[in-house]
Structure 1
Amino acid sequence: MSSAETIGQASDPQPRRRLSRQERHRQLVDVAWQVVREEGTEALTLPRLAERANIAKPVVYDHFGTRSGLLAVLYQDFDARQSEIMDAAFQASEPTLEGRASVIASSYVDCVLFQGREIPGVIASLAGSPELEEIKREYQAVFMEKCRTMLAPFAGDIAGAGLRAMLGAAEALSYAAATGEITAAQAQAELYETIVAMVARNARGGTP
């Protein structure tokens, strides 16, 4: 065998490993976030995702079915990351109102900032579909119930109106931080004060 042949064989690329379905799904979700980040939510279609991921369109349709299905998966991915961050912070926090309020405020803002400017566009797109809006409400309900449980030792049973107001503040402040309107520290501090004030009103029997 000539030296040229030997060099040629040594330089042959290794065969590409076939991704498992789970690995492919994760890859497509990551590419979808990248599309939203670079091109905006409106640019995210299944054909565009297939193009960016350099795979056949039927593969993408097999994973998500429709654009609405893809948006739902992105929101679920965001929610799972938020829950993971919040649960870890909760385990490491002090069992005080200050500690719990800090966990909620920092976790929510940190998760939105981790995802970047793309998550507001995804959430806005969810509002355009009754099915997706229902998914969003379900995950919001889980988040609010988790907050209710964390704060219950200091305020008793917090009414839904107070939790809904807290969630609204969390969304607005986090997205303002994501777009650079305010800093992350400012968003966390303001949300922290909102949570503490909500608990104080509830504890003294005021209107949440």
Structure 2
Amino acid sequence: MTKEARREQLLETALAIVREQGPDALTLGYLAERAGVSKPITYEHFETRSGLLVALYRQIDEQQVRALQESLAVKGRALDEVARVIARAYMTCHSNWGPEGHAIAGALMGDAQMGAVQRDLLDNCVGIFADALAPFSKLARKALRQRCVGIVGAAEALSLDMTRGRMPQAAAIENLAALLVSGIDPI
């Protein structure tokens, strides 16, 4: 198995552990046991438990970013359509991952490495939102980015309620779309 294929297998196994038993059960030793490899192999790929959790979190984010970018590739849409596209892609990704994405992020709270990763991923998401919404907003670029920081925070809260079963996906999409439209001071 190639190194890349092994890493993918380890991440899939790690996600299965988180889904079945929660993030507290995920250790490099247990991952090695479940994946049928030696402990040094898991350490070679991730170094630490935090490194493994960060890799899982990055994988979730990469899929979310890909879905957002693919959804936004169609040009010539009105603001309402763009807001719905963003909201649908965002919530669909979180729905597909279920509560595991939030559980992984929660398991890394207070970890310095994770704090830096979360800031980078947040900045990327904010940038995607701001780029997509800029043609529809009266706000200066800096002000729009600041608004998008708040909107992304609201999107996270909505997705958390959705993945916990407190809100249907359709309602999460509608609420996020409404926040996107009203929150950017539309033209």
Q: Please indicate, yes or no, whether the TM-score normalized by the shorter chain is above 0.5.
A: yes
Residue 169 of structure 2 aligns with which residue?
184
The Cα of 1:93 is off from its aligned counterpart by 6.2
Q: Where does residue 148 of structure 2 map in the other structure? A: 163
The answer to whether the 8 A contact 1:94-1:100 is kept is no
Identify the match of residue 199 of structure 1 among 180, 184, 187: 184
Structure 1 position 91, deviation (Å): 1.7
Contact 1:93-1:99 at 8 Å conserved across structures: no
**Larger-gyration structure (1/2):** 1
Equivalent runs, 1:6-155 vs 2, <5 Å = 19-92=1-74, 94-155=76-137
Aligned 8 A contact 2:144 2:184 in 1: no
Shift of 1:181: 0.7
**TM-score, normalised by the number of residues in structure 2:** 0.93
**Alpha carbons of structure 1 residues 102 and 53: separation in structure 2 relative to 1, 3 Å:** same
Match of 2:184, SS state, is: helix
Residue-by-residue CA offset, 1:74-111 (whole Å, 9 max, x unaligned): 11101110011111111246522112111211111111
> More displaced, 152-161 or 59-68?
152-161
Percentage of identical aligned residues: 33
Q: TM-score, normalised by structure 1?
A: 0.84
Helix, strand or coil at the partner of 2:73:
helix
Q: Alpha-carbon deviation of 1:58?
A: 0.8
Q: Distance in 2 between matches of 1:94 and 1:48?
A: 50
Runs (4 or more) in structure 1 with deviation over 2 Å come to: 92-95, 156-161
Q: 1:130 to 1:116 in 2, by over 3 A?
A: same
SS of the residue corresponding to residue 31 of structure 1 reads helix
How many residues are matched? 184
Q: Which segments of 5 or more consecutive residues in structure 1 lack a partner in the other structure? A: 1-18
Structure 2: runs of 5+ lacking an equivalent: none
